[in-house]
């Protein structure tokens, strides 16, 4: 089986700052992979490179057997890469369902079809009862679900989640974990960034730890949490 996603020796420089340094990772179809590491490790930068916010300074990104390094974000979305964003301000005045329809319109131009898809995804995410309220009415945990719903409406092969479980109550985080499990069960591969290890470790099949822009270590969650290199990166010595 060939990987769904590969980054090959990817570098991202911002002036003199090296945010990603020779990062090579692979995600297999059907996996839930956690991308973890302390603040400033370069996790969001790597997500942006995968999603197509900007091309890397150096290196390449292969998705589903195709080199997507130079493709813009919208093209990558069409090929099956979706990500969560912080809810954009201009979307706040739109209803929950309309926010999700924006995602569904990636696959269809027929409004009725997009609306049907949006309702299906909202139900999957436990938000259908909130379909008609403005997005600004949602509580923070619901907004995270809305971001997931909008991404799922694009019918991705790979879903990139950037800290969607951070800052939730224990009960909300548990519901979030359950949602991610159902996403994978529906056939979508998941790469998720979290910096709180306790939240992600029980959920992921494999974890990749970034530190100072580099891959520090990768492996099974049980081995990662015991790795002295990981412990010292998190303790900051
Ligand atoms: P993480 O998500 O792991 O907390 P980031 O990828 O956001 O880390 O940031 C990694 C480093 O790159 C940080 O030092 C950050 O300040 C820097 N950085 C991120 N984006 C930019 C940018 N657009 N311009 C300049 N520096 C950036
Ligand atoms: Mg980040």
Residue 37 CA: nearest ligand 1 atom is 3
- The string of DSSP letters for the chain reads ---SEEEEEEEEEETTEEEEEEEEEEE-TT-EEEEE-STTSSHHHHHHHHHTSS--SEEEEEETTEE-TT--HHHHHHHTEEE--PPPGGGTTSBHHHHHHHHHTTT-S-HHHHHHHHHHHHHHTT-GGGTTSBGGGS-HHHHHHHHHHHHHTT--SEEEEESSSTT--HHHHHHHHHHHHHHHHTT-EEEEE-S-HHHHTTT-SEEEEEETTEEEEEE-HHHHTT-HHHHHHHHT-
Residue 12 CA: nearest ligand 1 atom is 12
Could you give all domains of the chain from N- to C-terminal order, each with its CATH number? 1-80+156-237 (3.40.50.300), 86-154 (no CATH)
Residue 193 CA: nearest ligand 1 atom is 2
Give the tens place of pLDDT for each residue, 113-126.
999 999 999 999 99
CA–centroid distance, residue 43 to ligand 2 (Å): 5
pTM passes above 0.90: yes
Average pLDDT over residues 38-66: 96
Find the ligand nearest to 38 CA: 1
Give the tens place of pLDDT for each residue, 160-184.
999 988 889 999 999 999 999 999 9
User: What is the pLDDT at residue 237?
Assistant: 54
CA–centroid distance, residue 76 to ligand 1 (Å): 22
Give the tens place of pLDDT for each residue, 189-218.
999 998 778 888 999 999 999 999 999 999
Ligand 1 binding pocket (C-beta < 6 A) is 14, 17, 19, 37, 39-45
User: What is the pLDDT at residue 196?
Assistant: 77
User: What is the pLDDT at residue 87?
Assistant: 45
> What number is the ipTM of this complex?
0.98
Structure confidence at residue 222 as a pLDDT band (50, 70, 90): very high
């Amino acid at each position: 089986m060939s990987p769904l996603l590969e980054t090959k020796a990817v570098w991202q420089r911002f002036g003199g700052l090296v945010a990603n340094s020779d990062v090579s990772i692979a995600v297999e179809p059907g996996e839930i992979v956690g991308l973890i590491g302390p603040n400033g490790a370069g996790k969001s930068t790597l997500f942006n490179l995968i999603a197509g916010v900007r091309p890397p300074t150096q290196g390449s990104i292969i998705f589903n057997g195709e080199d997507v390094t130079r493709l813009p974000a919208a093209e990558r979305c069409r090929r099956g890469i979706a990500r969560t964003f912080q809810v954009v301000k201009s979307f706040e005045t739109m209803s929950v369902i309309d926010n999700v329809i924006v995602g569904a319109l990636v696959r269809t131009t027929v409004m009725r079809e997009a609306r049907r898809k949006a309702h299906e995804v909202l139900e999957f995410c436990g938000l259908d009862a909130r379909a008609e309220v403005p997005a600004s009415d949602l509580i923070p945990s619901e907004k995270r679900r809305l971001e997931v719903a909008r991404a799922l409406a694009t019918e991705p092969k790979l879903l990139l989640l950037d800290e969607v479980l951070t800052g939730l109550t224990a009960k909300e985080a548990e519901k979030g974990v359950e949602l991610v499990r159902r996403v994978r069960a529906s056939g979508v591969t998941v790469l998720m960034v979290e910096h709180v290890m306790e939240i992600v470790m029980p959920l992921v099949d494999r974890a990749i730890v970034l530190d100072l822009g580099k891959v520090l270590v990768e492996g099974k969650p049980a081995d990662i949490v015991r790795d002295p290199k990981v412990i010292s990166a998190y303790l900051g010595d």
